[in-house]
Chains A and B, each alone.
Chain A
């Protein structure tokens, strides 16, 4: 393998490649030492990580992701804070305890993200004003417990998909990526519990997402579940995989799907005042 040729190829595509890699000499030296340590078969992967460093996400784009996440956490934190405070909405006992737990996590996420953004030299976005009735679509959201849980499910499942959609953008920063993953799985725990709370009240829903089923939510929430019916992962068909009894429902439930920022903003916009 001729390293000079490879670097030359990159130079044709990107004349500034040496600046990104602190010069050709340094790039070659670094790459050679890297290649020396790994098996030849792994060289493309090593190159990928070297160029990831050169072309990795800028601090700006990481801050953009964090501010986007902060906006979603503002939404959730205010929603549960208002819900928990609404007289006669959430039954005392297990239900009130669960909503308080989730509220506290969402408030903690807001504070954590603000601190992280400031720590990276950025400015946290201001909290938007929210309309949790979504312009009247959920008019009784803070007076009807079932509506409150339905909107909670919508927010949690959206949150899980939203974080998942940003993970790849954070791959160049281990600390931020890990923190985002650590929030992501908490949102999934919340989603599972809210869905169980709805099931206990008669909704036809499970802790996991089956195909693109809305779980009894109004048709307007369809974009929240669009794409969840995917049953092919990295080119591997999951249904009946290797001749096993894995149904299409099983295959879709086993993998949650991401949403792009654009898709999430379309879902969330009706909730902005």
Chain B
């Protein structure tokens, strides 16, 4: 099937160093060593592209600021993979402006993803495996509805994560990204229905956008992420 092939092709093209370092990273990350490492190794399968796939414990995002940055990295991986697929298999009837915007959004999300990967260095989680089987990439409605979900979710995720960061430099970086996600969200919403860029499904009576906790966000994103994510060490306050 074309779409699935397209997705696989895209994933293998991602310059992820996950295949070489993911398991070692994971072990370092969870602070496990020696005997307990064997347990983790048995819990790890291999996917067809060679990435370590974690067992029940899942990919651990880690704790404190690093955990929040990995959380953002996970979401950016999801968004970048989605728009990469959209660009590979444009929906029928796509307009020139829509194609331009969706391509540019893809590039922004790739920039975000790669930024987090490089900034996290050896603390970065591996590349995640996505599950886009619920999306009909040939349908404008399906693609834009999914884009809207991802962008609104992303905005609320960054808004909710701000208070969980302790380093002001990271907070500023989250701020630099969230307003771009909000520009995307508004644009996608207007493509679906002009004038819905900030309607009352996202903005409350005080004129405030939404914030969501990592747990809420990851639950909403779970449909689209095959890799199990362990967010249990993230700060909650």
Contacts and interface: CB of A to CB of B under 8 A. Distances in A.
Contacts of A234: 115, 119, 169, 173
A206 B101 CA distance: 9
Contact of A192 (B110, B186, B194, B210): B186
A238 B111 contact: yes
Interface string B153-174: 0010011101101111101110
Given A49-B166, A171-B171, A185 B179 contact: yes
B114 A244 contact: yes
A208 interface: yes
B60 interface: no
A45 B211 contact: no
A236 B64 contact: no
Contacts, number: 210
A20 interface: no
Given A178-B159, A178-B160, A236-B119, A188 B190 contact: no
B199 interface: yes
A189 B175 contact: no
A45 B65 contact: yes
Given A106-B207, A160-B179, A253 B197 contact: no
A243 B183 contact: no
Contacts of B25: none
Quick one: which of B110, B119, B177 has the most chain A CB within 10 A? B110
B198 A168 contact: no
Contact of A186 (B15, B107, B198): B198
Nearest to B197: A193
Given A38-B64, A45-B166, A238 B208 contact: no
B234 interface: no
Interface in A160-214: 160, 163-164, 167-168, 171, 174, 177-179, 181-193, 196, 206-208
Contacts of A107: 207
Interface residues of B, number: 60
A266 B82 CA distance: 41
Nearest to A234: B119
How many chain A residues sit at the interface, stated as a range, is: 35 or more
Secondary structure type dominating chain B contacts: helix
Given A105-B203, A185-B179, A246 B208 contact: no
A143 interface: no
Given A45-B167, A258-B175, 19 more contacts: A38-B64, A42-B63, A94-B194, A105-B203, A177-B171, A181-B162, A182-B211, A185-B181, A186-B208, A189-B203, A189-B209, A192-B183, A206-B104, A207-B186, A208-B108, A238-B115, A241-B115, A250-B107, A254-B112
The 10 closest A-B pairs by CB, nearest first: A108-B207, A188-B182, A168-B168, A188-B179, A192-B186, A182-B208, A105-B207, A254-B111, A189-B186, A174-B163
29 contacts: A45-B64, A49-B166, A101-B199, A106-B207, A160-B179, A164-B175, A167-B175, A177-B163, A181-B209, A181-B211, A182-B208, A183-B207, A183-B209, A184-B175, A185-B158, A185-B179, A186-B207, A191-B183, A233-B119, A233-B176, A236-B119, A241-B118, A242-B117, A244-B114, A253-B104, A256-B175, A256-B179, A256-B183, A258-B175
